[in-house]
Structure 1
């Protein structure tokens, strides 16, 4: 069904038409005419951009979120996401294309429901599908013939078929006959100015040809290109493969950073030279650890599922081990740098620059900076942070002791009061020259100083 699949699937779907309770051709026509209403569950870093993309494409969008204050602020015209202007939300509301609700009793209103809820790990590094399951159980009592339900949350192959489908079919409705189930993984890259939702190709897999044709028709109105695949499990595997590819390659350069560092070789210089090869090499860069909701988490969804087939994913697990050890390596380098400067690390004061997981965003999910701060304090040093995008550390799943810490000012006098500055996130709007000129020691995990043209014996790369 891949490639020229959609046209063929629209011809093939008539095979089941005799048992369908829904006129699929009519539903396809409504999608293409943008006459259906789209519901999006989960109004975060994935759901809000998707909702605005659908609204700009001409659909009426109803957003759902369990966080009532978030819903209220969205309905007031706030995007709640730093890199998305409030004007996009207020414009969609003014045009009658978007509104949000915390009332899940309204799930019967949308014709298509797109699920964008978190899929974290448990403390034992196993999939936590509670958000997906709870969402499915909220949909089920309101599920009606003709509705399309698409899961976008990253998960292991088989989730759509093994978790969502049985819950929905407990209602007596049947997938592919009464309602239509699909999986289309989100591909958001928060803060990336070159790749917003509408210009990123969308992988789509359906539970049967009708579901694929309908989901593909919907996303074709939203994004530059769709990539239909043969099943929901294949689509689920695509997203895991994308993120495992990144995790493994980041682990490789993190390991090279340690090896080359011991040899006195600058790994960033090596990578910048290697990437001049026009074929056979793709640059990845080291850092203080993995952050974001995808790369640190998604590989473990596959390792967990692989155990069901008695398969060990040693390569993926090794990459995870390397990446999760990076904060420890960085703090070791930080302690060495402070000791060499003539100060004892125990009792020293450290300023961490950046607690967002990547530069130029206000997203701190799974940020390695939080682990760095805890490790620094565990070794007897005091730690503050500065982040222009995150004025206060909110509640997190793993780092409760850091909640409520506030970003400190960044000026010459403030920097000079610390025994070391640790660059954990390389935001563009930080004055690195001011930092280098006033800091006793700078430990740079992102090569930010070199990219700013700064060279100083007090700069240590880690």
Structure 2
């Protein structure tokens, strides 16, 4: 068995990187700098993934430079102002004041950075094909300043072979001009993010993470870099495994949510069968079952997008991911199903549809966060407008302003309303899209005229008179 085969076998067995990997002088120097915390860390993209990562490294004493093309965001951070709910304001302010965390909108100082983490968006095009332009742009800027002893780690969620097929060629073109060799002079790996906004139990520090390098030296250094801030790093044999692993994580959730969403619609048709009660009952089985719950549709950057990455890649290999594609279609259809339920709720009121008013509670994609990317609230609102409902307002304690994309690339501002008993009474229907902790279920149930509950947020409301006002998604008409 040759060394590469033995290395891959070792990783497959226990995720461990052999400590006796033959390291080049550049690798040895970078390893020492990481161990002594004298390495400079660069984080490209200071959003929901990048900024928490930068804060963790700065908190461990590493000189950390955040790079983001948004000059307003950079200025805000350099002033010590935190813009993410998940981070402690005082913690960020102290790191900036102590000059271990700084931000810039340029790559001018990239030559001083030892380890780059690329944390940029990976959206899809209008035809649901991967858009790697942000990754390409970040990599090209890093490549301009590439030098011996640098490690580049792609953290963006993407399709298998993005690291090897997109990032690596850009770096190699620059490296060849400088006489640098991948795996000896500079290093490349993929390590997907595992950020869960709003989760207070699992943070960057205590969530195990996966890493796969282009060579064994790349994996070894990436593992060492990540071990400075996380409790456990599981090494895999190559970046493709790391990239596919991340897609599996997210698509696993997507297909299971699609399953319960489809069954929820069936329960509504059958009647007297609540999908929420069904899941609760199934959860009593101590093995072989994992609970997933119905909802108004998927949200966030990753889970709604990832099935499209994999379906696109499968087509390139003459393979059809029928199951995954169908699951995505079911989830994408949920906002339309919710809109129909809202129209049903309005029909119970003495008002014409064209004169009706709707209050949307929660426009963030999940509870207790301010992230509205791909939130189902957007398509629900658009669908209501297409049905002729013009008076639509929203309330979200985490989102001060909300805009939805309309037809022909237009953007519409959705008016914000304060959540008061009077506001609830003034609207013909109220829909709970996001179940924020700040919402008082009893006040909503008592004062709203008609309610569509897509999250079972009003579960504690048991008064039959109040339950009659509620249409519960998947509740089987209770």
Equivalent residues of 1:391, 1:406 under 8 A apart: no
Aligned: 1:194 with 2:197: no
**Other structure's SS at 2:69 match:** coil
CA distance in 2, matches of 1:41, 1:196: 20
Shift of 1:108: 1.5
Equivalent residues of 2:392, 2:414 under 8 A apart: no
Shift of 1:285: 0.8
Equivalent residues of 2:152, 2:187 under 8 A apart: yes
Shift of 1:394: 5.1
Indicate the residue corresponding to 2:471 in structure 1. 460
Indicate the residue corresponding to 1:62 in structure 2. 65
Count of aligned residue pairs for this structure pair: 455
CA distance in 2, matches of 1:13, 1:118: 35
Shift of 1:137: 1.1
Equivalent residues of 2:297, 2:332 under 8 A apart: yes
Q: Give TM-score scaled by structure 1 length.
A: 0.95
Which segment is superposed worse, 48-57 or 450-459? Answer: 450-459
**Other structure's SS at 2:20 match:** helix
Q: Give TM-score scaled by structure 2 length.
A: 0.92
**Other structure's SS at 2:294 match:** coil
Aligned partner (choices 411, 419, 443) of residue 428 of structure 2: 419
Aligned: 1:322 with 2:330: yes
Indicate the residue corresponding to 1:364 in structure 2. 372
Aligned: 1:29 with 2:37: no
Indicate the residue corresponding to 1:78 in structure 2. 81
Indicate the residue corresponding to 1:88 in structure 2. 91
Indicate the residue corresponding to 1:286 in structure 2. 294
Indicate the residue corresponding to 1:353 in structure 2. 361
Shift of 1:399: 9.7
Aligned partner (choices 362, 382, 395) of residue 374 of structure 1: 382
Residue segments in structure 1 that go unaligned for 5+ positions in a row: none
CA distance in 1, matches of 2:124, 2:407: 11
Indicate the residue corresponding to 2:418 in structure 1. 409
Shift of 1:96: 2.4
Indicate the residue corresponding to 2:230 in structure 1. 223
Shift of 1:453: 5.6
* Deviations, residues 146-165 of structure 1 (Å, cap 9, x unaligned): 10000000000000000011
Equivalent residues of 1:290, 1:296 under 8 A apart: yes
Indicate the residue corresponding to 1:151 in structure 2. 154
Question: Mapping of 1:370-449 within 5 angstroms?
Answer: 370-381=378-389, 382-393=391-402, 401-449=410-458
Shift of 1:109: 1.6
Shift of 1:26: 2.8
Which segment is superposed worse, 239-248 or 328-337? Answer: 328-337
Equivalent residues of 2:30, 2:114 under 8 A apart: no
Indicate the residue corresponding to 2:4 in structure 1. none
CA distance in 1, matches of 2:358, 2:101: 45
Which segment is superposed worse, 104-113 or 351-360? Answer: 104-113
Question: Mapping of 1:230-241 within 5 angstroms?
Answer: 230-241=237-248
Shift of 1:428: 0.6
CA distance in 2, matches of 1:397, 1:42: 28
Equivalent residues of 1:390, 1:407 under 8 A apart: no
RMSD: 1.7
Which segment is superposed worse, 78-87 or 384-393? Answer: 78-87
Shift of 1:307: 1.2
Indicate the residue corresponding to 2:274 in structure 1. 266
**Other structure's SS at 2:137 match:** helix
* Deviations, residues 266-324 of structure 1 (Å, cap 9, x unaligned): 11111112112111110111110110001000111111111121110000000000000
**Other structure's SS at 1:181 match:** strand
Shift of 1:342: 3.7
Assess, with a 3 A threshold, how the Cα gap between structure 1 residues 5 and 350 changes in structure 2: closer, same or farther.
closer
CA distance in 2, matches of 1:29, 1:401: 53
Indicate the residue corresponding to 1:111 in structure 2. 114
Equivalent residues of 1:288, 1:326 under 8 A apart: yes
**Other structure's SS at 1:437 match:** helix
CA distance in 1, matches of 2:458, 2:185: 59
Aligned partner (choices 250, 253, 274) of residue 246 of structure 1: 253
Indicate the residue corresponding to 1:309 in structure 2. 317
Shift of 1:396: 6.5
Residue segments in structure 2 that go unaligned for 5+ positions in a row: 1-7, 474-478
Indicate the residue corresponding to 2:56 in structure 1. 53
Indicate the residue corresponding to 1:180 in structure 2. 187
Assess, with a 3 A threshold, how the Cα gap between structure 1 residues 132 and 328 changes in structure 2: closer, same or farther.
same
Shift of 1:401: 4.6
